[in-house]
Structure 1
């Protein structure tokens, strides 16, 4: 069964209250990401203290931890009752219906190697749906944020690409850092490549989804992704007019498709049939 995260109609008063909350949450998400960005900038030039997590390719640094602490501190100050799920420190309980999902430094390997494709990404989740998100790219000095009430960016007017045929599409495919899943990710990429114009991969899901929300990529596809890798970009891309799907493959894997609605619709049967 396809899960298509589109919104059902609701009453006017409920919709207004939801929009007011979404607007407020978007501002908080963007400011929380800014707190993480400042922490990363302060960490530049200091010892990175690089270590590994689930695999030798899964890096974490002192900057990741500093950014996460800064984001959590800001969220606790602004919305003390909300729950938080953070990549490095895990679950922080709350009593409100809102849960924040944090990737304090998405693209850590790029950061360690001096590449600019890394981001600070924050999303708010309600009823298991990402209602708003914000992504900041410190090396580029830009940002994007959006939710149910709209989308904003540091430059231009964000929006997904124009409708196009799949063989004209430029896509990204997320590659797992886990050894047991990495081959499957490359197999999915190999199956999709003959159907599209080409692919690009930055090494940061948030940066790829930033590109989807600004029309520089037509779609992003990944398997079995973690909430902090997909949540902020999911909310932003949807606010930019994208279609966001979570679907099971024939092999029982969870696949995520985000992008230009016409391209996502054409990718759907190819991804569903992936048997890796």
Structure 2
């Protein structure tokens, strides 16, 4: 087993372990806290799940850096860990989102995920997006993407009018106008639009062919995007920034697709940007 295979397998184990912990509080009366605004929520389940993910990773990779969404305590007995706020451009690291889609989680909606990405020198080498409510794990290794062992690929649709496009990210603040225009234009020029409330879930569905494309019209933290974009790339899809250039985890926006109508998606996004 190569190091990349080992890291992909560990990403899946860690995502499953954290997701199982989070699922214990799903559809419970767990208190809900807010972060940046009233719709940006967090719970103790997020922190507990993150602690379990980190504990699983550190059993095998004690010297690797950690980039995690939540401000949560480290596992008991662990104190000498390289915790970062951004993805390091050199060395080995893990990027963790314990519950992507916490707003869904607290409302009892099934679509939320635990996402883990292994990064080497700033680039993902193995990732997993686990859906605890469904028990499905989407895993990207060196050669392919699997869902619970079944090899996946992006869709083969080529007619934009048959495309189902995921609209990704939060509809907050100054972005509402952009999202409103994008939603209208997607429905007008493509087949249909979906907004699932979990960015990583949407990206996993593009990788599996359930969705044909996804648009994120603004930047997002790496824990919201790295695992899913890695899935799309390994499944044969196309991942770019809003200009059609190579996407990086700190890019200001994201377009993913099966590659069949990517230029049309870029044209739509660029035409609907804020004046």
Could you tell me the TM-score, scaled by structure 2's length? 0.85
CA contact (8 A) 1:32 1:122 kept: yes
Q: What does residue 150 of structure 1 align with?
A: 144
Bigger Cα displacement from structure 2, 230-239 vs 129-138? 129-138
1:99 positional shift: 1.8
The answer to whether structure 1 residue 42 and structure 2 residue 24 are counterparts is yes
Which of 260, 263, 271 does residue 261 from structure 2 map onto? 263
CA contact (8 A) 1:208 1:220 kept: yes
Q: How far apart, in 2, do the equivalents of 1:255 and 1:96 lie?
A: 23
Deviations 1:108-133 (A, max 9, x none): 11111111111111112233322321
In the TM superposition, 1:194-233 aligns within 5 A as 194-222=188-216, 223-233=218-228
Q: What does residue 92 of structure 1 align with?
A: 83
Deviations 1:211-251 (A, max 9, x none): 111111001110212211111111111111111112349xx
In the TM superposition, 1:120-159 aligns within 5 A as 120-154=114-148, 156-159=150-153
CA contact (8 A) 1:117 1:204 kept: yes
Could you tell me the TM-score, scaled by structure 1's length? 0.84
Which of 242, 247, 260 does residue 247 from structure 1 map onto? 242
- 1:262/1:115 Cα in 2 relative to 1: closer, same or farther (>3 Å)? same
CA contact (8 A) 1:58 1:177 kept: no
Q: What does residue 78 of structure 1 align with?
A: 60
CA contact (8 A) 2:164 2:212 kept: yes
- 1:42/1:232 Cα in 2 relative to 1: closer, same or farther (>3 Å)? same
Which of 181, 185, 188 does residue 182 from structure 2 map onto? 188
CA contact (8 A) 1:81 1:95 kept: no
Q: How far apart, in 2, do the equivalents of 1:44 and 1:176 lie?
A: 22
Q: What does residue 103 of structure 1 align with?
A: 97
The answer to whether structure 1 residue 66 and structure 2 residue 48 are counterparts is yes
Between structures 1 and 2, the one with greater helix share: 1
The answer to whether structure 1 residue 55 and structure 2 residue 37 are counterparts is yes
Taking only aligned residues, the RMSD between alpha carbons, in angstroms, comes to 2.4
1:79 positional shift: 0.7
Q: How far apart, in 2, do the equivalents of 1:268 and 1:44 lie?
A: 37
Q: How far apart, in 2, do the equivalents of 1:173 and 1:46 lie?
A: 29
Q: What does residue 173 of structure 1 align with?
A: 167
Q: How far apart, in 2, do the equivalents of 1:201 and 1:95 lie?
A: 32
1:77 positional shift: 1.8
Any gaps of 5 or more consecutive residues in structure 1?
1-18
Q: How far apart, in 2, do the equivalents of 1:195 and 1:44 lie?
A: 38
Secondary structure in structure 2 of the residue aligned to 1:43: coil
Q: How far apart, in 2, do the equivalents of 1:270 and 1:140 lie?
A: 33
Q: How far apart, in 1, do the equivalents of 2:158 and 2:7 lie?
A: 33
Q: What does residue 3 of structure 1 align with?
A: none
Q: How many residues end up aligned between the 2 structures? A: 255
Bigger Cα displacement from structure 2, 196-205 vs 261-270? 261-270
Q: How far apart, in 2, do the equivalents of 1:49 and 1:262 lie?
A: 44
Q: What does residue 28 of structure 1 align with?
A: 10
Q: How far apart, in 2, do the equivalents of 1:173 and 1:80 lie?
A: 37
Bigger Cα displacement from structure 2, 144-153 vs 91-100? 91-100
Any gaps of 5 or more consecutive residues in structure 2?
73-81, 245-250
